[in-house]
Chain A
Amino acid sequence: MTFASRNPLGLLIRAALLALVAFIIFGPLANLVLWAFAEKWYFPSKLPLEYGFSFWARVFAPRGNALGSLGTSIWIATLTVALSLAVAIPAGYALARLKLPLRGAILLAFLLPQAVPNLPVYVNIARVFYEIGLAGTITGVVLVHASHGLVLAVWIASAAFAAVDPSLEEAARNMGASPWRCFRTVTLPLAAPGLMASAIFVFLESLDEFTGTFFVGVPDVTTLPLLMFNASMGGNYQIASITALLLLVPSIGFMLVVERFLKADVLAMVGR
């Protein structure tokens, strides 16, 4: 222990540095919030000239498309979670518990969508979907989101199953439980928090996904990120900022609770 903690200069420097970090993190977010409530804002005034809710009324008006886009986004994200977990839970269990031939190659295949730039995939799948009539449909967008989201789901599910103590399963089997019953009553409940975390990850990833929807969803599927993008490119900062705030709520909410779902013992098993 040194005397540094009693040094007023050190305290000042620490406080100044933390304030700088706070400005870098929250400055951009605060700027977004200001735009969401600004009625008028021109250069060079530091703050909006008038505040109000008229743009909020426009966003949430039946004509404003935001509620429709929000609904579309949530529906797509829900279907993506359902599809991703339906295939990721068995795969994650097999990777964690069973002897698999070519296990390394399989793990690598599940790493690919995270490790390879996605744009070539979106561009070409959009073309194929266009030919078979899936472009601009919810199904097409869900398939694209799921092919990306299930990778995260497989890795987290596999880690969650690996973190379950095998001796508990053995005990259940020794007392005569069938493999399916053992999985349903012992393994699955113990892995549930990790699976919940992977479901939330996939949900958020789908909710926030832009590029895939940009190529595959046109012209009929407008999710919230696309609505935000169009408003921003159209120069309507208020509408874009309000939509961005709507997208931020689930993201930040999850950031604040993530550790409750994703415990260190599961994190330590990722990629094993």
Chain B
Amino acid sequence: MTPQSPALRERFAGLALVAPALFVVGVFFVLPLLLSAVGAFRAADGSFTLAHFEKSLDLYTKDLLFTLAIVALSTVLIALVAIAIAGYLTLGEHPRAVAVLRWLYRWPLFIPFVVAGQVMRTFLGKNGMLNHALIAAGIIEPISAQSFLDWRGIVIAFVWKQAPFVTLLLAGAMAALDRQYIEAARNLGAGRARVLVDIVLPHVRGTLLVGLVLSFVTMLSVLSVPLMINPNSPTMITVDIAYRISTFADYAVANALCLLSLLLAALGAVFYLRHATRKVEAPL
């Protein structure tokens, strides 16, 4: 037996243990993804073509921009909400308020998108509770009650559903921080907002970005929420993809749109890589 053979055996055993899982991901995820890329460039006779992209851009440029705007706006709002809640959970000085908030914010965490869609259809509709609450609070007149089931509805549903997820990650990362830095800054007279922005956030930026990129990508591929809240043009690209397939069985244009949405997701990844690799300065 050669000296390195136990190590070699371990490597083979490891690969054998990983192989079934890799197989499932490879065949039922990676392969269809490659098929999508191929299908987007393939003409009916099998030759290479860009016609599907021309048609996609002709018909759906507006929806692509609409999708990007919705998802980007939602991501920004999710970041603000998550920072505010996680920041209060970490720096709040009233144990009872912190406990109540910790209990409150998580409820939408495991609620499926399709249910969030239905929940928002009832809440944001013309006869929804939001309008009644605004009327009761004297913010709007009954006559000006309107349905929020347009781009605003999608953004509200996305933020409602995804902000708790990012908050959970962020609050976890903040809780793991060394309290010394925070105490020291507080003792030196820094306000809580200042401590949050200058000391806590730089340390948890990586976690925040991971949560935001995952949310960005997730929101890009959600079909149910835009389909239920705002199915008419301009709408999100996922709705268009489903429409091309269910109405025309047009897989070519659907695949071209799929690739364009992957491109949007790649934008998110590039943004993440550019910001995550920048060195974080130590505050003290």
A residues lining the B interface (CB < 8 Å): 1-2, 4-5, 14, 18, 21-32, 34-35, 41-46, 83, 86-88, 90-91, 93-95, 98-101, 106, 109-110, 112-125, 127-128, 143-144, 146-148, 150-151, 154, 204, 207-211, 214-215, 225, 228-229, 232-233, 237, 240-241, 244, 247-248, 251-252, 254-255, 267-268
B 1-53 contacts with A by CB, 8 A: 7, 10-11, 13-15, 17-18, 20-30, 32-33, 35-36, 39
Taking each of B105, B109, B115, B238, which has the highest tally of chain A beta carbons within 10 Å of its own beta carbon?
B115
**Is B57 interfacial (CB 8 A cutoff)?**
no
Contact among A32, A42, A117 with B221 in the assembled complex (CB-CB below 8 Å): A117
Contact among B94, B106, B112, B258 with A225 in the assembled complex (CB-CB below 8 Å): B112
User: Does the CB pair A18–B100 fall under 8 Å?
Assistant: yes
A95 — nearest CB in chain B belongs to which residue? B18
**Is B217 interfacial (CB 8 A cutoff)?**
yes
18 further A-B contacts with Cβ under 8 Å, apart from A101-B15, A119-B238, are A2-B93, A5-B94, A27-B133, A28-B122, A46-B132, A87-B23, A99-B7, A112-B29, A117-B221, A119-B258, A121-B29, A124-B255, A128-B32, A128-B35, A207-B112, A211-B238, A229-B117, A240-B118
A114 — nearest CB in chain B belongs to which residue? B214
Taking each of B18, B105, B132, which has the highest tally of chain A beta carbons within 10 Å of its own beta carbon?
B18
Taking each of B29, B145, B251, which has the highest tally of chain A beta carbons within 10 Å of its own beta carbon?
B29
Number of interface residues of B (CB under 8 A): 84
User: Does the CB pair B133–A117 fall under 8 Å?
Assistant: no
Say whether chain B's binding surface is mostly helix, strand, loop, or mixed.
Answer: helix
A255 → B minimal CB distance (Å): 5
**Is B107 interfacial (CB 8 A cutoff)?**
yes
Q: A237 contacts which chain B residues (CB < 8 A)?
A: 121-122
Partner-contacting stretch, out of B58-66, B123-131, B193-201: B123-131
User: Does the CB pair B106–A31 fall under 8 Å?
Assistant: no
B38 — nearest CB in chain A belongs to which residue? A124
Q: Which 5 A-B pairs have the closest CB atoms?
A: A208-B112, A120-B258, A117-B221, A147-B28, A98-B14
B140 → A minimal CB distance (Å): 13
**Is B222 interfacial (CB 8 A cutoff)?**
yes
Contact among A31, A114, A254 with B119 in the assembled complex (CB-CB below 8 Å): A31
**Is B160 interfacial (CB 8 A cutoff)?**
yes
**Is B69 interfacial (CB 8 A cutoff)?**
no
User: Does the CB pair B145–A44 fall under 8 Å?
Assistant: yes
User: Does the CB pair B104–A228 fall under 8 Å?
Assistant: no
A70 → B minimal CB distance (Å): 14
User: Does the CB pair B122–A241 fall under 8 Å?
Assistant: yes
A15 — nearest CB in chain B belongs to which residue? B97
Q: A87 contacts which chain B residues (CB < 8 A)?
A: 20-21, 23-24
A256 — nearest CB in chain B belongs to which residue? B106
Distance of A256 Cα from B12 Cα, bound (Å): 41
B 227-263 contacts with A by CB, 8 A: 227-228, 238, 241-242, 245, 251, 254-255, 258-259, 261-262
**Is B77 interfacial (CB 8 A cutoff)?**
no
User: Does the CB pair B241–A119 fall under 8 Å?
Assistant: yes
Distance of A87 Cα from B23 Cα, bound (Å): 9
User: Does the CB pair B97–A14 fall under 8 Å?
Assistant: yes
B282 → A minimal CB distance (Å): 21
Q: What are 19 inter-chain pairs, A to B, with CB distance below 8 A?
A: A4-B93, A32-B118, A87-B20, A90-B20, A91-B18, A94-B17, A98-B10, A106-B22, A109-B30, A115-B214, A116-B217, A120-B261, A124-B35, A124-B36, A127-B251, A146-B28, A147-B27, A228-B118, A237-B122
